[in-house]
Amino acid sequence: MDVVVALFRFAVAALALIGTQEIWLRGQLDGLLYFTNQSGLLLAVVMIWGGIASLRHRAQPPGWLKGGVTLFLLITGLVATFVLAPEGADAPSVAFGLTSGQIEHQIDPVAAFLDFLLVDAHHRLRLRHSLYWLGYLLAYVALVTVRGLGWPDLAYPYGFVDRGELGWGGLGLNVLLYGAGFWVLGLVIIGIDRLLPARALVGSAGRVRVPA
């Protein structure tokens, strides 16, 4: 079964890399400014790591990292569904008839959550991890804001962090609202981790306990 788990993870990693190919293949490093692309690249890393670990029966990616990537992908999917404008109908296919938006906004979040739910060992997350993950979001907003202040002619990656349009008050309110949602969803991830059996439902992860 671990071979099946590894193949699934490698397939997810391949899709995540296809969805972000403009960055690592074409050198369009500006794409790293997008939270979606950061999440997709992190997903590729943990899936390759986890796939190799499953094949070799070695320690899986640490719980705080795997849980964080799962959270980031769920946030990506939710924001794309409820906040961002839909992808254009003329968006080009990048693989298997799928656009990069479909891969990054729909497939990656579902795959990340299923992997977390079924294949990961559990009981590895702590409440403090939700604060670590929230810190990542705050660092991202700070980076985007500093970039906007230093180079005002450059576009912001997302309208809800556009200080030029929102002003400091609007930006602060969005950080508060999105940050609260981010933190609550992180607590949900931790709650699910605690409710599930320690051992993975599929595969052998958790048979030998490793530090979170």
- The shares of helix, strand and coil residues in the chain, as percent rounded to the nearest 5, are 70, 0, 25
Q: Could you list the pLDDT tens digit for every one of the 212 residues in the chain?
A: 899 999 999 999 999 999 999 999 999 999 999 999 999 999 999 999 999 999 998 999 999 999 999 999 999 999 999 998 888 888 999 999 999 999 999 999 999 999 999 999 999 999 999 999 999 999 999 999 999 999 988 899 999 999 999 999 999 999 999 999 999 999 999 999 999 999 999 988 876 544 44
Please give the pLDDT value at position 208: 54
Please give the pLDDT value at position 78: 96
Please give the pLDDT value at position 20: 95
Burial 35-72 (b: 16+ CB within 10 A, else e): bbbbbbbbbbbbbbbbbebbeeeeebbbbbbbbbbbbb
Please give the pLDDT value at position 90: 86
Please give the pLDDT value at position 212: 44
d(CA 139, CA 179): 11
Q: Cβ–Cβ contacts within 10 Å for residue 93, how many?
A: 10
Domain ranges of the chain: 2-195
DSSP state of 197: -
Phi, psi of 61 (to 5 degrees): -55, 145
